[in-house]
Amino acid sequence: MLFNTISYVVFLITVTIAYWLMPTNTRRWLVLAASLLFYALWRWEFVFLITFSAFVDYFFSIKIYDETRETRRKLWLILSLSTNLVLLLYFKYSYFLLGNVQQLGSLFGQDWHFNIGRIILPLGISFYTFLSISYTVDVYRRLFTPIRNFTIYLSYVVFWPHMIAGPILRAHELIPQLTRVARFDAERFSSGMQKILYGLFLKVALADQIAPYVTEAFLAKPAQLSALDVWTMAFAFGLQIYFDFSGYSMIAIGSARLLGIEFPENFNWPYLATSPRDFWRRWHITLSSWIRDYLYLPLSGVPFRDESAGGLEVRVLEPDSVRLSLALFSAWFLMGFWHGANWTFAFWGIWHATFIWLYRLSTPRLAALPTAVRNLGGWSLTLAVSMLGWIPFRATNLASAFALLGRILDVHAYHTLTFRENFYLIIMIVFLGMLSGHFLRKWLAQSSSVVRHGAEFGLLAFVGFVIFIYLRPVEQFIYFQF
Amino acid sequence: MQSLVRTALALIVAIGALYLYDTRHRRIDAAAFSIQNSVTLGREIWKGKVYTASEVGDIMKMVDANTDPFPTLNGCAPLVVLWLGNSQLHFINQAKSGDHLAPYWLRHAVKCPDQTLPLGVSLPNANLQEHLVLEHYITRRLPVRMILLELCFDNMREDGLRVEFKESLKSDERDSLRANRDTKSILETAEAEWQKGGGNDPANSGSGLTGFAQQSLEDRLDTELSSLSPLWNERGTLRNYVLSDLYYLRNYLLGINPSTVRKMIPPRYERNMQALTAILRDAAQEQIEVIGYVAPIRQDRPLPYDGVEYARWKSQLAALFVQNHAQLLNLEKLVPSNLWGTYHEDDVDFMHFQGPGHQIVARALLPYVENAEGASQ
């Protein structure tokens, strides 16, 4: 089911009212039924796949926990991980892998053809696979005692606000909330409503309005574009994906909050980051935290953490070493690939790893600079790096990504504009609007309650006005394709 | 609890504001469109048949309605003249009773109005890629012998096929466009954009739910809500109101008016020139005579074009027409200043002239059509 639809609004109102009116011992069943219905409203047949996948992890996690012999525990873990990864590989990476094998064959004069029919990518498979992996690994690490009730475990996996595109939660963050009896709290309920409204606004009024410009721009031939065009495209897609995904996350967090369930935040003004590492503390926080705990820190040989907050907050205090660098590049390479079966995503991961690595190397030398210079310089550079990183992320193939990035380096390509003036104007206004929003929010936080409540009231009325007009499913959420 | 009440109140205020916004705009619309009739909507009718249309769907219907062969009468052989243009061809500035569009005056002036069919085909801000697709579509269905092609510098900034083509082009027509090298790339680029939900047109709504079982539920709820709430039903119109308000706000804040010089957008210009070349080439292959004309533009104000770019375009047109053995007329100074529209100093219309301007344009092109009539007898 798509969030940006009137049917979701009706679904949410119905489930929320039923939830709070129902006897507390039956709420869990309502959550499970509503979540399965939510998924079935995409394609009902895939409900069986997600249930099967959940059952396998449920079963293996109990085996892992109950088993005392380390080799057996490891074996169960490997079986669980393999099941998840094989499903992910089959549904998400089959075409990509076979395509690459085919290309490799052609290098040796072989003309291989593979006909594997049409594979439909199950919605949210990347997200619920990571969720399941974290569960079994946490059980293996003895950080979490496995649930011995399959319906609770299934509810954890399929809970609709996070199932399709996160936030990626840890078992201890959600399962206790699903099993306890929540009490209605008007303030929390109101903040949930507000989150949903702001999230819908970001999606329908900003992301979906920028989308047609981005689509048109990326259909143009790179050779026809100027460097200023490419910069604008990078900012345009950077803003689109930010509003799209943070809007999605806000609706997810708000929807859960209506039922008295708290999710961690997934975004924290990423385009105000002052370093590449800071960016990953603010962008898709639950994913970067997942990568940190299940890939980066284990590969680095550094003690892991167990929470979906903080992102790349952890600083590895050891001096830089080949192992640390390899861990960084491997983790970010895989993180890139997780986004999609295309070398462009892997390149995007490497792009970020490279700048995090360079930042790590240069940090001691930059310490002597005045704080203001360091912050302003850090912000500008991080903004440029993160925005340009969206070029390979959005490009259809590596050749196109390199051609576009190549335009940036061409000093003679800075004097023309290719698109309609509105494109540049809109992107500039939206970007400045986003920065102003941050400072306005800070200012309001320090204002009197009358000013704050007045501004909040006006903003909500405006957001409600816009959502009423623009709520329609013209675009899916970008992260649905991952 | 206070916060919950505040949120609920804010949403009620939003609904109230929507009602006010809708009512205010509806009043303005009612005044603006009170004089609409067939001609101001861009249609001309001869003996019950439309022969001038200005929307993609209407154009397709008009072509289908005119496919019956008409007989040779009084020594006149049938002659279909395809007149391709932009809104200049279908809009009358300050329309008055008795005014008509240029194809009307042409049809009434020719020797054989029952045998000479000037088919007025125009789209607002039509670009030459759209003209190429329409030319391809129409010349494969009607025995077109002559094309009158309006060439407007403004429209060289436009690009691609508007989303209405998506609904109107059936699969066999798309196959036919794909079979041609020139139209293939235009169609494929447009299809990629349509698939991605490009364009802000309401016709695109719902594309995000493609492949979702949710689609039928969404459609049903939308229909139910539209029947229950007039405001919900008006959302498409409200989106247009917001868009036009933003447009005026932008113009006001940046001091943009119709006289503001607009720079050409090089890749779009290139694609349109390629489309023009393809039209001329295709017409030559089909043995269709092409009369191109640089569109009339008001001369009493500085043009909203970069002078160098405009001059270069005209010289490129001249070279292209010579190269393709087609005729090019320069009608830019044809319509006198008093026949254009000006509401106040800043609101100058460079594109649309008043009723008599249409007669003047038709008169200027009449000799070429009469020549063709003579040749077909």
For residues A446-457, give the mean pLDDT.
91
Question: Helix H segments across A184-226?
Answer: 186-200, 208-219
Inter-chain contact B267–A221, Cβ cutoff 8 Å? yes
For residue B200, the model assigns a pLDDT of 39
Of B13, B218, B238, the CB nearest to A5: B218
Best to test chain A binding among B218, B243, B254 (most A CBs inside 10 Å): B218
For residue B49, the model assigns a pLDDT of 85
Q: What is the pLDDT of residues A1-28, one digit of tens each?
A: 889 999 999 999 999 999 999 998 899 9
Q: Is the pLDDT of residue B108 over 70?
A: yes
Q: Is the pLDDT of residue B201 over 50?
A: no
Q: Is the pLDDT of residue B305 over 60?
A: yes
3-state secondary structure of B40: coil
Interface confidence, given as ipTM, is 0.81
CA distances from A38 to A4, A30, A55 (A): 13, 12, 19
Inter-chain contact A42–B206, Cβ cutoff 8 Å? no
Q: Is the pLDDT of residue A317 over 60?
A: no
What is the share, in percent, of chain A residues with pLDDT greater than 70?
A: 96
Q: What DSSP element (H or E) covers B125?
A: none
pLDDT band at residue B306 using 50, 70 and 90 as cut-offs: very high
Tell me how far apart the alpha carbons of residues B284 and B277 are, in angstroms, rounded to a whole number.
11
Report strand pairing: B44-46 vs B49-53: antiparallel
Q: Are A339 and A345 in contact (CB under 8 A)?
A: yes
For residue B202, the model assigns a pLDDT of 39
Annotated catalytic residues of A are: 339
For chain A, the straight-line distance linking the first and the last C-alpha, in angstroms and rounded, comes to: 15
Q: Is the pLDDT of residue A314 over 90?
A: no
Q: What is the DSSP letter of B334?
A: -
Q: Are B265 and B157 in contact (CB under 8 A)?
A: yes
How many beta-carbon contacts under 8 Å exist across A and B?
Answer: 144
Report the greatest alpha carbon distance in chain A. Answer: 75
For residue B206, the model assigns a pLDDT of 46
Best to test chain A binding among B196, B223, B234, B264 (most A CBs inside 10 Å): B196
For B71, the token pair is: 């007989």
Tell me how far apart the alpha carbons of residues A345 and B228 are, in angstroms, rounded to a whole number.
46
CATH 3.40.50.1110 fits B34-202+261-376, yes or no: yes
Inter-chain contact A219–B200, Cβ cutoff 8 Å? no
CA angle A37, A39, A44 (to 5 degrees): 80
Kindly report the pTM of this predicted structure: 0.84
Residue environment code for B173-198, b if the CB has 16+ CB neighbours within 10 A, otherwise e: bbebbeebebbebbbebbbebbebbb
Each domain of chain B, given as residue ranges in start order, spans 34-202+261-376
For residue A369, the model assigns a pLDDT of 86
Of B197, B239, B270, the CB nearest to A469: B239
Asked whether the bond before A167 is cis by omega within 30 degrees of 0, the reply is yes
B184-188 long-range contacts, CB within 8 A, separation 24+: B186/B129, B186/B132, B186/B133, B186/B160, B186/B161, B186/B271, B186/B275, B187/B133, B187/B161
Each domain of chain A, given as residue ranges in start order, spans 6-184, 189-413
Q: Are A153 and A147 in contact (CB under 8 A)?
A: yes
Q: Is the pLDDT of residue A421 over 50?
A: yes
Which of these ranges, A172-176, A221-225, A271-275, has the smallest mean pLDDT? A221-225
* Dihedral class, residue A447 (left if φ above 0, else alpha if ψ from -120 to 50, else beta): beta
pLDDT band at residue A118 using 50, 70 and 90 as cut-offs: confident
DSSP secondary structure string, B52-66? EE-SHHHHHHHHHHT
Inter-chain contact B3–A468, Cβ cutoff 8 Å? no
Of A418, A463, A464, the CB nearest to B265: A418
Inter-chain contact B6–A453, Cβ cutoff 8 Å? yes
CB atoms within 10 A of CB A236: 27
For the packed helices A125-140 and A46-66, what is the interaxial angle rounded to 10 degrees?
10
Best to test chain B binding among A118, A198, A215 (most B CBs inside 10 Å): A215
Inter-chain contact B211–A456, Cβ cutoff 8 Å? no
